[in-house]
Structure 1
Amino acid sequence: MQRPPCPRPPGLPRWVAMFHQPAQDSWTVGAESPERAPVLYAVGDMTQTVRARGEEVTVALWGPKDGAWHLFDAPAGRASAPAPATSADRPAPGAGEPAKLAERMTDRRHQVLMAGLSKAGLYDLSAEDGEAVRTMADLLDEPTVRRVAHWLSAAGGGR
């Protein structure tokens, strides 16, 4: 099956994973970062989640090349990029499904917050900022995280 054409993301070149939504025949930003590794990690997690639902995944990976946007081949399956969290944040091997689901939801909330910060124009975060985002992702429920991300996006003018 041929991949539908993916539009270039708006704004300055950075790493962006775009996911195709067949029901709406549209593309949506799934993850974005000035660094490639977190985007590849997110692609792996999101791909695994969508495939677990029995759905097909179509991903386009955009990134900077020579100062301009470039469409790269999207990675298949789980990316081998390093995880944004440390191994101490992850459940022990063999942990049950509830722990994996909780981890996946925390990672999703983290991505939503990072996308909101990015849309607000905050790309270069310090280690202290990263820890604050991780703490918020751990403590807040998904609707609250989405609301905070919406505020950040509105504050950034929908960049």
Structure 2
Amino acid sequence: MLHIGTETGSRTTATTPAATGATAPTAPTEDHGAVPCDLVTVPARQGLEAVDILRRGAAQEAVGPVLHDGACDTLGFLVPPGTAEAWDVPGSACTRTDGRGLRIPAEPPVTGSGWLLPPEEDAPVTDPAVLRAALDQAARLIEAADNCR
């Protein structure tokens, strides 16, 4: 699972059994002028559905940078700082950085991770309300597909 370590001043909230585990973080990356952000992690299947939903929407810029862990078990959506304070989506976790730690770097900030969607200037982070709606829709689609078996 993607997890930013304590040296960045992070805290994980809304953790559920589907969103546990940890990966060792890399050393903080210097990226002057980068946008601070929090990190919402979700199971890969739900995250990939949410990415598709967001990219099919009217505004393709609705989805910002997205990380994947090395095992492709989870995806991490970069969201505005402060999102973790109110994040309560079941099956996901939100790591708070207080704007002091994680900033959008050119290289993935977590050891063993990579960019599914790399950072771009015109889409710095994903809007948490839009992400919440996409994750909810993705969960419903997955449940419907699983019930058809």
Structures share fold, TM-score greater than 0.5: no
Q: Which protein is bigger by CA-based radius of gyration?
A: 1
TM, length-normalised to structure 2? 0.30
Kindly indicate which of the two structures has a greater share of residues assigned to helix: 1
Where relative contact order (Cα < 8 A, 6+ residues apart) is larger, the structure is: 2
